Amino acid sequence: MASATPDMSLSLRLSVSLITVLCTSMTAIAQTSPPSQPTALTNVRLLDDVDAPRVSILMREGHIVEVLDAGLELPGGYREIDGDGSLALPAFVDAHSTAGVSTPEPVATMDSMSPLAANVHVGMREANRKGLQPSLDTLTVIELADSELEGYRKQGFAALHSSPRGQILSGQSCVTSLANGALRGRVLANRVYMAAGLNASGSGYPSTLMGFLSHLRQFFLDARWQELRVQRYEAGRDDRRPPYDLELEAILPVLAKKQRLLCSADSVRDIRRWIKLSQEQDIEIAIQGGRDAWMVAAELAAAEIPVFLALDWGDEVEDPDAEEEGKEDDEGPEPDEEGANPEAEDGPTSEIAIEAIEVEADSPEEVAEAEEAEEEAPEPEDEVSWEYQEPLGVQRERRRKWEQRRDCAIRLDEAGVTVVFATSGQSPKDLLESARQLVELGLSEESALAALTTDVARVTGLERRLGKLEKGYDANIAIWTDSPFAKKASLEWLVIDGMTFEFEQEATAEMAPAEGVDLSGEWEVAYEDQTGAPAILDLEMSEDGAIVGTLSFEGPDGTGRSSEVTGHLSGHDLTLRASIEMGQFSAQIRIEGKVSGETITGDTTWKFSGGEDSNSFTAKRQPDWSESGHNHGGPNR
């Protein structure tokens, strides 16, 4: 697995992050027809308007052969599927996915080292290729499980653009359909982009940001020199035959501007580093990730750099000002000008009048005793809360930054940047939910739909095959009950390469915690192959399964650190999310596990600038020493 830096302690992976939504809205029944069987989708509309004209879409051999008005008679031999007035749209394409892609670590040394005593060498004895494997073909390492294919289909996706990750040059991306069948029959395009990042696995040079960029520049120089040597040799020049170098050959399309570099970058600094490198080397790039891309929207638009945007902005940060407004609303109605309570049925009654009524109801002796008891009673002490609360300014700043990350797609769209939506480690359900939220916040449905269909097809070179419901295009069609960006919308049918999938709707709410399961308390978390001290999770769980708490762990410098976590328990399935910042290093981390008695097992995936990593974990519940009366200091935090 890739890591952020070679000297980073494994315990750094113990920060956790959350994906909180279960994919339970629909269940696929079965594939109902082979792609070769002529099929007609009848009585469907192509516009999000209930009064839009109805049409029939005719499909054969995986293509759309005609789009007819609904009143016209169908040719013979077609199997008919009645759309019943539902909305037909192009099926979605995931602009960037790492699902099922296992990136091998590059072979760092291409040539064996010559004996030092043999001769004096003026050239390099070995080619250092750490983090460089541009020849890697994603098609040789991708393997999607049936559950992953089904998860995409349930959300209306018919294809995905996949690439390796975690290296300076990770390899070649590809686009595949999500239909059933062998991989070689589902390939739509290969060697689409060259995946790049500011990261490399393994020890030795390079291991810093400066080293990664220098290493990449040197590789570009080597490739250009290799190309020149080959040209001279083929032209008959008196030069030694150059060795064949697969990696140098693989990067030549990028240097010739025939292929774009897909650069993983979230921060403004990293995005600008890639822009500067593209100008310096005269190459074309695209940005993948793009968390802070809105801050350089003008530069991206001017350079016509598309952004493969990951819609993962983390859990919503509470708005402190909205909370204060709610408190003001709960204080009750304001009194009128005469001090009356407008909700009182019998008119105004002053406190003095109430006291007079109470005094008249008691005898003089009882009144005297009550006054004496009141004088002797101790003054009530104000309750003091020792719970730490962030300053209001800090809360507002955290909320502001979260809103900026959330609204990134809107700002880029306003600036004219080509934006396509990508899971990049998210689930397809989470991606669609995020797109719906952006539409609610002001992104037009046309832009959101293009970011999942036509624009993805264009930036992957498949604009003549994907993204439209027109004659000659691939038969990738989704039939929705409503606009897919409406919360009430559900998917009824999905067609991929002419294969039809029907879905039945299940009105299932988010699952509650399993009976008797409460994760409140302290948990010790250990990771596979861990060398550092275990982390400690202190969790509090409410009855509905919502979880808050803290994660304490040992940082790479040996000092104790902590991070807030939030999450949810559905049945026995736990999801948590947190973020961590250590100097210039930051990571968004997600943990998913299954609860079994006093143990939680699962996997953690953490994303950082330049890549992502994952590892399995086991968490054990710790005894509640406070209740048992034992003195237990716990681990060093």
Write out pLDDT tens, residues 193-204. Answer: 999 999 998 888
CA-closest candidate to residue 419, choices 312, 313, 307, 310: 307
- Return the higher-pLDDT residue of 379 and 40: 40
Confidence band, pLDDT 50/70/90 cuts, at residue 85: very high
Total domains in the chain come to 3
Beta bridge partners of 580: 587
Look up the domain containing 526 and give its range: 10-22+511-628
Domain identity same for 79 and 205? no
- Residues 572-622: tens digit of each pLDDT: 889 888 877 666 566 777 788 899 999 999 888 776 655 567 788 899 999
What's the confidence (pLDDT) of residue 445?
96
Q: Which of 24-38, 85-99, 527-541 has the lowest mean pLDDT?
A: 24-38
Q: What pLDDT score does 362 carry? A: 54
**Which of 313, 310, 307, 251 minimizes the C-alpha distance to 283?**
251
**Whether the model pTM is above 0.75:** no
For residue 55, what pLDDT band results from cuts at 50, 70 and 90? very high
**Alpha helices by DSSP H, 550-620:** none
One-letter amino acid for residue 9 of the chain: S
* Domain co-membership, 135 together with 217: yes
Checking if the pLDDT of 224 tops 90, the result is: yes
Average of per-residue pLDDT across 87-101: 96
Residue 553 clears pLDDT 90, i.e. is over it: no
> What's the pLDDT band for 332 if we cut at 50, 70, 90?
low
Of 53-67, 241-255, 520-534, minimum mean pLDDT range: 520-534
* CATH number assigned to the domain comprising residue 15: 2.40.128.120
What average pLDDT does range 466-472 have in this prediction?
Answer: 96
- How much is the average pLDDT of 304-322? 91
Same domain, 259 and 309: yes
118 lies in some domain: no
| Pair (624, 559) in one structural domain | yes
Does some domain include residue 526? Answer: yes
Mean predicted lDDT score pLDDT of the chain:
82
- Find all residues with CB under 8 Å of 438, minimum gap 6, and list them: 311, 406, 407, 409, 410, 448
Residue 229 domain-assigned (yes or no): yes
Residue 609 placed within a domain: yes
Structure tokens at 318: 């509470």
Q: What is the pLDDT of residue 271?
A: 97
- pLDDT for 335 beyond 80: no
- Give yes or no for residue 331 having a pLDDT over 90: no
- The residue-averaged pLDDT of 491-514 equals 78
* pLDDT of amino acid 576: 87
Does 458 fall in a domain?
no
Same domain? 250 vs 198: yes
Q: What is the mean pLDDT of residues 375-385?
A: 62
Q: Are 568 and 547 in contact (CB under 8 A)?
A: yes
Same domain as 165, residue 33: no
Same-domain check for residues 143 and 263 = yes
For residue 196, the domain's CATH number is 3.20.20.140
Q: Which residue has the higher pLDDT, 147 or 480?
A: 480
Higher pLDDT pick, 160 / 357:
160
Encode pLDDT of 249-270 as tens digits.
Answer: 999 999 999 999 999 999 999 9
Per-residue confidence (pLDDT) for residue 509, from 0 to 100: 41
**Domain check: are 301 and 418 in the same one?**
yes
Asked whether residue 294 is domain-assigned, the answer is yes
Q: Are residues 166 and 230 in the same domain?
A: yes
d(CA 329, CA 175): 53
Give the residue-averaged pLDDT of 350-358: 42
Instruction: Give first-to-last CA distance, the chain, whole Å.
Output: 27
pLDDT on residue 585: 62
- Identify the pLDDT of residue 375: 61
Higher pLDDT, residue 65 or 526: 65
Residue 153: how many other CB atoms lie within 10 Å = 22
Radius of gyration of the chain (CA): 31
Q: Is residue 348 a part of any domain in this protein?
A: no
**428/477 same-domain check:** no
Q: Is the pLDDT of residue 150 over 70?
A: yes
Closest CA to 111 of 100, 98, 124: 124
Strand partners, 591: 576, 604
Q: pLDDT value at position 69?
A: 93
Q: What's the pLDDT band for 57 if we cut at 50, 70, 90?
A: very high
